[in-house]
A and B are shown apart, each in its own frame.
Chain A
Amino acid sequence: MSSVIVNNIIKTYSAEKKSVVNALNKISFEVDKGELFGVIGPDGAGKTSLFRIMTTLLIADSGTASVEGFDTVKDYKEIRKQIGYMPGKFSLYQDLSVEENLEFFATIFNTSIKENYDLIKDIYGQIEPFKKRRAGKLSGGMKQKLALCCALIHRPTVLFLDEPTTGVDAVSRKEFWEMLKQLKKQGITILVSTPYMDEASLCDRVALLQNGSVLSIDTPEKITKQFAKQLIAVKTENMYELLQSLRECTEVENVYPFGEYHHVVLKSNRTINEVQQYVSAHGFKDAELKPATANIEDCFIELMRNQ
């Protein structure tokens, strides 16, 4: 049974000079109950528009979407009772205290903090010492925890998190994903969008989104397995010149910076030795070459190239 079904959603925005921006172009996917589903894509891919359509805030130009069997246009009232939504921008009252915010959202969902305390206990416990503090005065990580608490306070069946980890430090990000794993255990379906490719591997399944189109939907493992080409990592002193040089190499299909290495995608039937020779011949004698396994980011770049 699917918890969220998105079917052929199209959304366009009119931009200046009568031109039209295709924010979402025939998006379709399904999310199973209790799944942790990631929507991965760079800024401007259409993640927020997609989330707003699923959370009934925005109406698609065409196509349908349903959450827990309810249509996002017709039965939006039912959906609003059932879902939890955390917008990308911190959207709680900054001039109310932590406790007041939580209490407020509990009340408008006709429940109380006490009733669902067990669900948020682990998360709220971390910010409870500051419950008298105004939300605007919290650190980024704490704001995000409070927002999650507020989205959870009515025990939603589906949780929508729009870029929850953007602008949050590495430690808080890790903590946040731990929290999501705990929530998944409670049987809550979670949809999370993120521009960070490294977070994809933490999801059960991911949809790779680019320019309003889905590039691929699968488990992170399967997506990385689909990467059929040979990948090597290269490192040397002068990385920029190395990049320039490799772009002209005939054995190489694609090369891009990847952390402290450059990732080089080889054309079929080429070997690492051929690249080694090319690199040495072009004056990068101390270059370090090693085979690499593709991760989601490599797959994403490959899929983008093929599009």
Chain B
Amino acid sequence: MRTLKFLLQKEFRQIFRDPAIVRMILMMPIIQLILLPLAANYEVKNVKLAIVDHDHSSYTQQMINKITASGYFQLTGVSNSYNEEMKLVEKDEADIILEIPAQFERTIVKENKAPLFMAVNAINGTRANLGSAYLQNIIRNYNQDIRMQWIQKPRFNDQPRIEITYSNWYNPHMNYQLFMVPGILAVLLTMVGAFMTSLNIVKEKEVGTIEQINVTPIRKHHFILGKLIPFWILGLVVLTLGFGVARIVYGIIPLGSFVTIYAFAMVYLLAVLGLGLLVSTYANTQQQAMLISFFLMMIFILLGGLYTSIDSMPEWAKTITKFNPVAYFIEVIRMVVIKGSTLKDISKQLLIMFGFAIVLNGWAIFNYKKRM
């Protein structure tokens, strides 16, 4: 015990003497939590729309007014030539071209229907999708409006109509930040737990201090615990800081209890610390550890459900996410923060995380040798 106490004391001394680490631990959660949720947003606004109007009637005028009034679109060009507008698309000054054929108003009045043409720049898939969907929606509404004007009184119900109303459960205002902040917290915890630990151990290898330590009778588990415990504590500190930022900046207060979140985070940290230890047994230089970390982090984030929903991934990708500890934590922290899930609701994930912790730490300890 005395040895472990001293190892911990030494480790904390070293951590707090390295201004870069202290700054990272304090600034990383604050900056990432303030910047990312504000900047990253699924809502598509300011879609640049170019209109080719061959009709110039009052109907087209009304339609254009309705589109621009929606707030989603920014009119970047109105002209008579499709080719001219296409040039705007090529220069990336327009996302969607809406072409209104000549005698649009006349056709719609006479024949009760009229075609419109929409060309979408599909380089940015999300923007193209959502932009065209918005535009279609607006035009459909407009179509209904003009028909309402024609029909003075209901003559007969030509077709049964289904009207849909909806309410957003758990996140009634579809607050994007409520969705992002917990996810980013999960990623932050992973960085502290896995990557700072691996860098710390590999640093001892690189500087050569491990050679001096290895010839001492120090027990393997003492050394490993001495490395893991400080980062376990730091991880919880970062989580607490993160919740502080979430509350102050976004007013996010978890619906579920903090006990549930911290209980899961404690087990989760065990698992990612094991991962860090494992990386450190394979890497010999900090550069190698860094590269492995980047590689893993990319996969963890992109296949973790932080930005894109795991449910919409192909089957094989879903299988991969089952081996991604970050995915579980993101899921759990969102469940608890947004939905108010209890320990009982997350017991399955908790059990899986215990499994991760045992496998990763076991593998790492097996692979850690006090020789060269």
Contacts and interface: CB of A to CB of B under 8 A. Distances in A.
A150 B212 CA distance: 10
Interface stretch (A78-86, A124-132, A188-196, A224-232): A78-86
Contacts of B208: 87, 89-91
A58 B17 CA distance: 33
A107 B6 contact: yes
A20 interface: no
Contact of B217 (A57, A58, A80, A93): A80
Given A57-B371, A58-B371, A95-B14, A108 B214 contact: no
Contacts of A52: 372
B10 interface: yes
Contacts of B124: none
Interface in B203-217: 207-209, 211-217
B196 to A, nearest CB: 16
A149 B78 CA distance: 83
A110 B208 CA distance: 22
Contacts of A96: 10, 13-14, 17
B371 A100 contact: no
A134 to B, nearest CB: 8
B181 to A, nearest CB: 35
A150 B14 CA distance: 18
**Interface size of B as a range:** 20 to 34
- Most chain-A Cβ atoms within 10 A of its Cβ — which of B213, B214, B215? B215
Nearest to A136: B207
Contacts of B214: 57
B217 A109 contact: yes
A83 B215 contact: yes
B19 to A, nearest CB: 11
Contacts of B216: 80, 105, 108-109
A152 B259 CA distance: 49
A150 B213 CA distance: 11
A85 B10 contact: no
Interface in A228-264: none
Contacts of A56: 215, 371
A77 B217 contact: yes
Contact of A92 (B2, B212, B215): B212
Contact-residue bracket for chain A: 20 to 34
A233 to B, nearest CB: 41
Contacts of A103: 6
Contacts of B7: 108
Contact of B3 (A58, A100, A110): A110
Given A57-B215, A108-B217, A95 B3 contact: no
A223 to B, nearest CB: 30
Contacts of A110: 2-3, 217
B117 to A, nearest CB: 64
B208 to A, nearest CB: 4
Contacts of B211: 57, 87, 89, 91
A94 B212 contact: no
A65 to B, nearest CB: 14
Nearest to A85: B215
A59 B371 contact: yes
A81 B212 contact: no
A216 to B, nearest CB: 29
Nearest to B10: A104
Contacts of B14: 93, 95-96
Nearest to A81: B217
A55 interface: yes
Interface string B187-221: 00000000000000000000111011111111000
Contacts of A150: 212
Contacts of B372: 52, 57-58
Contacts of B215: 55-57, 80, 83, 85
A13 B362 CA distance: 29
Interface in B1-54: 2-3, 6-7, 10, 13-14, 17-18
Given A57-B214, A57-B215, A58-B371, A95 B18 contact: yes
Given A87-B208, A91-B212, A92-B209, A108 B6 contact: yes
A90 B212 CA distance: 9
B97 to A, nearest CB: 60
> B13, B209, B214, B216 — which one has the most chain A CB atoms within 10 A of its CB?
B216
A108 B18 contact: no
Interface of A: 52, 55-59, 77, 80-81, 83, 85, 87, 89-96, 100, 103-105, 107-110, 150
Given A91-B212, A105-B212, 7 more contacts: A56-B371, A57-B371, A58-B371, A81-B217, A92-B212, A108-B7, A109-B217
Nearest 6 CB-CB pairs, A to B?
Answer: A91-B212, A107-B6, A91-B208, A85-B215, A89-B208, A81-B217
20 contacts: A52-B372, A57-B215, A57-B371, A85-B215, A87-B208, A87-B211, A89-B211, A93-B10, A95-B13, A95-B17, A96-B10, A104-B10, A105-B212, A105-B216, A107-B3, A108-B3, A108-B6, A108-B216, A110-B2, A150-B212
